[in-house]
Structure 1
């Protein structure tokens, strides 16, 4: 084990079995966001902290979704790759729209529906 190469200027290029080391290290934010979002009471943690942790958690998830689409597209035809890229390329936005629509239905506010409609347009 070469400890002198563990962190340096080119650390962002390191991979382990094809997985980027920086993005693998960011996966801890996914677990923290899920735990703080569902298990912890809202009075214990600020909404801004939850938002920052969620943004940090979504970075590796979008990368891995993109890599999965790319690897499936590389093994299939051009048309299947284009369809997969068009549908699953915006998966993060679709998940956010679903959450927004659910919140709008629960609170009875129409502004969430209008926001989703304008974003889709």
Structure 2
């Protein structure tokens, strides 16, 4: 079994308390997507934060981010996977902030109702 497969199963083992196996996707899929987006956005994170501080208008921000990064989506949060755990006690709130600050066209987390899952995981820990 691959290292990645082992890692994913270790996460599933931790979810066994509050989740049944058919519910694992409610957490694993959004987290996998979130991690992938985090990796894509990492090289231009500071540029996007600077642009977000400069432009209040979301339409203008989208245009400026596209010009600067070549990507049609962005995240303006001060959080990333690299620093989310710095405040372990505030992890649920910080993760929710991170998800909320994606550009409006990144709606996958609403589809999964992922913020509800974050709160559920916080409440069982």
- TM-score normalized by the length of structure 2: 0.30
- TM-score normalized by the length of structure 1: 0.31
Relative contact order (alpha carbons < 8 A, sep ≥ 6): 1 or 2 greater?
Answer: 2
